[in-house]
Structure 1
Amino acid sequence: MHVFEASAPSRMGHYAPVDRPLTEVEAIARQHGVNHLVLVQPSVYGTDNSLLLRALAVEPGRHRGVVVLDADVSADELSAMHVHGVRGARLNLVSPVGEGESANLAQRFANLAPHLSRQGWHMQWYARAEDLATIAACHRHSDVTCVLDHLAGFDADIGADHPAWHFISELARQGAWLKLSGWYRLNAQSPYTKLVPQIRRLANLFGDRMVWGSDWPHTMFAPDAAPTYGSTWQPVVEALGESEASALRRRMPNIYA
């Protein structure tokens, strides 16, 4: 999930941030039995992670963070972020103000990978299914754990014989993780039943290496039209069954340890 301050400097993207503080989502999450959160740096704030770091510092050790980094980030900066609870960095190949326009994504990953490796952090990719060939090549000879955001881009229209299945299988064998989140970003409408076959097939590949995300506060929607928090969990139950979904909810992903 994300936190926002309307007054924080932001880049022009597909949405304008409004106030969505940590206290608000903590209250909503608590109603659903969720007490620990992962704060992901929004693309509109670029590499200025100060809002995220301030949120993590409110109650040290409770939550975790995923940041966006400059290639020349210093070791001291990384160490300070780690103390705050940061456990990963993000590359966004989808959003208008993400990193998708970079001339050489492989080189950007190669520049960041040594920093991530020293900290024991992962790389989180927000990407489309067609980007998976590049992502698989980046991680093929790297010890940095790969985390694939929003069902790895496997939208409801990707068929069973799509080439992306080959690369997602390779990434799963490499030890990648999958985030069960962002259903409305995948050509599906609530209650997202069109995605259930995709979720089940991907779950068979990733096993225990999955983590659910609410994607709060749902930046694709107007504040008064956002999905309910619970509705973003229901597709997991539909796809995996009540027992396995409950086990997933109790599991502490080691990528955030």
Structure 2
Amino acid sequence: MQAEGQDDAPRQARFAIPPLACDAHCHVFGPAERFPYAPSRRYTPEDRPKEVLAALHRKLGLQRAVIVQASCHGTDNRAMLDALHSDPDRYRGVAMIDDATTEVELREMKAAGVRGIRFNFIKALGGAPDMALFHRAADRARPLGWHMVMQLQGDGVTEMAEVIRALRMPVVIDHMGRVDPALGVEGPAFRRLLDLLGDDRIWVKLSGIERMTRAPFTEALPFARALLRAAPHRVLWGTDFPHPNLTTPVDEMELLNLIPDFAPTPEDRQRLLVDNPATLYGF
């Protein structure tokens, strides 16, 4: 979101947003009085409930969204599910689960629009999960037709490559693997990410540009271009609103307006924003 005091004059997309365009990675936080944050959380965000998210999407001209459970809520998925129930035609979800999540809860989440589960492997957010739990969760999600979302960073892509290949389900890698842009597109982690995309079960989000570099974000664009070329039918895009753990304000319209820089044709943008998320999330 824009910082207080920034120019709040209306801004518009510099390209035609295709109908049914999807923000395939965003979050809802709280409100804490209804949906408390997890005691074990590594950060405490400001409340950003479903009403704030819906207002952002109206401003951006996006008609669909995938709401991803964030680590600050842990495996208490109620805030995410509340958002899904508010507009089941427009929203899908990605949950966080553990061994305490019941089979009844899994079925209820599927009915609500959950289509995947997510695990974080980033040290600053708690580091790698218990891998036995990870595999048990994958085994429970697979019969539901769900996919696995993995948040990795840089060398973590290389470290987890064989685990990713061995999973018998679709895998989505968040935020372009959060590779180090200083290493360029020939860096080993990014080359491994491109190699993984040779497997037609593996997807990647062309998001998190604001986590790789600062505005105007040009350093991150070659990575997004290379990923789109490598797997045009398995790339997704998202705002990552409300950008947890970033100290620099982010203008989501600026992020949206980067899309033509790596998805230059209307056909590219139709796949990225509409067709691909519809395929994976069942819109």
The letter of the residue matching 1:118 is P
Alignment partner, residue 29 of structure 1: 57
> Which among 115, 139, 157 is matched to residue 114 of structure 1?
139
Is 2:227 aligned against 1:199? no
Alpha-carbon contact 1:121-1:255 (below 8 Å) kept? no
State the TM-score, normalized to the length of structure 2.
0.81
Distance 1:61 1:191, change over 3 A: same
Alpha-carbon contact 1:60-1:85 (below 8 Å) kept? yes
Distance 1:182 1:86, change over 3 A: same
> Which among 253, 256, 264 is matched to residue 230 of structure 1?
253
Alignment partner, residue 241 of structure 1: 264
**C-alpha separation between the residues in 1 aligned to 2:244 and 2:109?**
25
Is 2:81 aligned against 1:53? yes
> Which among 206, 209, 212 is matched to residue 234 of structure 2?
209
Distance 1:245 1:229, change over 3 A: farther
Root-mean-square deviation over aligned CA pairs? 2.1
> Which among 152, 162, 171 is matched to residue 196 of structure 2?
171
The 3-state SS of whatever aligns with 1:157 is helix
State the TM-score, normalized to the length of structure 1.
0.88
Larger relative contact order, structure 1 or 2 (CA cutoff 8 Å, min sep 6): 2
Alignment partner, residue 73 of structure 1: 101
> Which among 155, 159, 180 is matched to residue 206 of structure 2?
180
Q: What whole-Å deviation, never above 9, does each CA across 1:41-100 have from its counterpart, x for those lacking one?
A: 1111111111111121122342011111103533222111000110011111126444x2
Alignment partner, residue 184 of structure 2: 159
Q: Identity percentage over the alignment?
A: 31
Alpha-carbon contact 2:206-2:236 (below 8 Å) kept? yes
**C-alpha separation between the residues in 1 aligned to 2:42 and 2:218?**
26
Once the 2 structures are TM-superposed, how far is the Cα of residue 184 of structure 1 from its aligned partner? Answer: 1.9
The letter of the residue matching 2:50 is L
The letter of the residue matching 1:39 is I
Distance 1:221 1:140, change over 3 A: closer
The letter of the residue matching 1:238 is D
Structure 1: stretches of 5+ with no match in the other structure: none
Q: How many residues align?
A: 251
The 3-state SS of whatever aligns with 2:216 is coil
Alpha-carbon contact 1:87-1:256 (below 8 Å) kept? yes
Once the 2 structures are TM-superposed, how far is the Cα of residue 242 of structure 1 from its aligned partner? Answer: 4.6
**C-alpha separation between the residues in 2 aligned to 1:24 and 1:118?**
34
**C-alpha separation between the residues in 2 aligned to 1:9 and 1:169?**
36
The letter of the residue matching 1:89 is I
Distance 1:16 1:73, change over 3 A: closer
Distance 1:184 1:117, change over 3 A: same
The letter of the residue matching 2:118 is R
The 3-state SS of whatever aligns with 2:157 is helix
